[in-house]
Amino acid sequence: MPLDQAFVGRKYPPTEPYLVGREKIREFARAIGAAEREFHDPEAARAIGYPDVVAPPTFPIVFTMASSHAQIVEDPELGIDYTRVVHGDQKFVYARPIVAGDALVCVNTVEDITTRGGHDFMTTRSDVTTEAGELVVTVWAKLVQRGED
Amino acid sequence: MEKTYRVTRADLVRYAGASGDFNPIHWSERFANNVGLPGVIAHGMFTMALVSRAVTEWAGAPDTVVELGVRFARPVPVPDTDEGTEVVVTVTERGETDEGHTKLAVTATCQGEKVLSLAQAVVRKR
């Protein structure tokens, strides 16, 4: 069964805020081998104008993947078979870097669904803002659900 | 600019923990084989994180990336050896955006094969 086109444009309720921790940023930076001091040392981050350590560019995936998975991929009405899903594309557009201490809310939307050659392609968008509504980053993921054998 | 990054199973385990992506295709040979993969593969987002390292290094700043996008073209198999594998990332300047930011074209290869396509970044000038 191809994915239902009627889901295009569906917007899910804002998530509970994700509280960005200094140690989580450090852990993520270490895991990807990123040594820039501003990812690890609050003093270095303050020296370039931030209140605390800044996060590496792909850090938002830590909470956008989990929340879009919980809301969209596991939406029983949409009926995605995750065992057939592979990650197709990923894109981030930043208004500013994420900083330790941010409390970030995601609004997840199904932006596009297409079916081609028996495979389904779904693009999700996560609009990531502070609780006050300041845009921080917009995240797009394209998932490919391979056709059934 | 060309950067070579070594990727081992230990890196994937560490990345799984840090990112929260515990899909067993990134740490279990048995599971990977059962779903038709030749073996454990790196998280696509780990490869993208290596790209982000090359881009922030190119920019000379940790906070100037305006845009980062990739298409995952081919998996990165990571053998269970001390050496693991290598991902080679290149970053090349490709002009300016309308806003005056710098456009970068990015490639990533593993064992000579392209693992990303349509990879690009935009960075703000400092």
Q: Stretch B99-116: mean pLDDT, rounded? A: 97
- ipTM score of the complex? 0.97
Helix and strand counts by DSSP (H, E) for chain A:
3, 5
Of the candidates B85, B119, B122, the one whose C-alpha atom is nearest the C-alpha of residue B4 is B85
CA distance B10 to chain A (A): 10
- Mean pLDDT in chain A? 95
Q: Which two tokens stand for residue B49?
A: 């994180």
Q: What is the signed CA dihedral for A95, A97, A74, A132, rounded to 10 degrees? A: -70
Kindly tell me the sign of the dihedral angle through the C-alpha atoms of B59, B60, B64, B70. positive
Tell me the three state secondary structure of residue B119.
strand
Per-residue b or e along B13-50, where b marks 16 or more CB atoms closer than 10 Å to that residue's CB: ebbbebbebeeebbbebeebeeeeeeebbbbbbbbbbb
Least CB-CB distance to A61: which of B19, B55, B56?
B19
Q: Please answer yes or no on whether A58 and B56 come within 8 Å at the CB atom.
A: no
Position B34 in a domain = no
Are the CB atoms for A59 and B30 separated by under 8 Å?
Answer: no
| H-helix segments, B1-126 | 9-19, 29-34, 44-59
From the CA of A77, how many Å to the nearest CA of chain B? 23
Inter-CA distances, B22 with A13, A71, B119, B121, Å? 25, 18, 25, 27
As a 3-state breakdown, chain A gives helix, strand, coil percent values, each rounded to 5, of 25, 35, 40
Cβ–Cβ gap A34/B69 under 8 Å: no
pLDDT-derived band at A144, boundaries 50, 70, 90: very high
- Residue B106, strand partner residues: B91, B119
On the question of pLDDT at A149 being above 70, the answer is no
pLDDT score of B21 more than 70: yes
For B19, name the nearest residue in chain A, comparing CA atoms only: A62
- Whether A129 and B104 have beta carbons less than 8 Å apart is answered as no
CATH of the domain at B59: 3.10.129.10
> For residue B117, is pLDDT > 70?
yes
C-alpha closest to that of A110 among A136, A79, A86: A79
- Domain residue extents for chain A: 5-145
Q: Is residue B97 part of a domain?
A: yes
Burial class (CB in 10 A: 0-12, 13-18, 19+), B4: exposed
Query: Structural domain of residue B93, as residue ranges?
Result: 2-7+42-123
Let me know: does B85 contact B106? Beta carbons within 8 Å. no
Question: Which conformational region is residue A53 in: left (phi greater than 0), alpha (psi within -120 to 50 degrees), or beta?
Answer: beta
The CATH fold assigned to A5-145 is Thiol Ester Dehydrase; Chain A (3.10.129)
Total structural domains in chain B?
1
Taking the Cβ of residue A94 and every Cβ of chain B, the question of whether any pair is shorter than 8 Å is answered with: yes
Nearest Cβ partner of B53 from A30, A34, A92? A34
- For chain A, percent of residues with pLDDT exceeding 90: 88
For residue A114, what pLDDT is reported? 95
Does residue A130 sit at the B interface (CB-CB below 8 Å)?
A: no
d(CA B47, CA B14): 14
**Burial of B70 by CB count in 10 Å (0-12 exposed, 13-18 middle, 19+ buried)?**
buried
Contacts of B70 in chain A (CB under 8 A): 89-91
For A9-51, the pLDDT digits (tens) are 999 999 999 999 999 999 999 999 999 999 999 999 999 999 9
- From the CB of residue B60, how many other CB atoms can be counted at a distance below 10 Å? 10
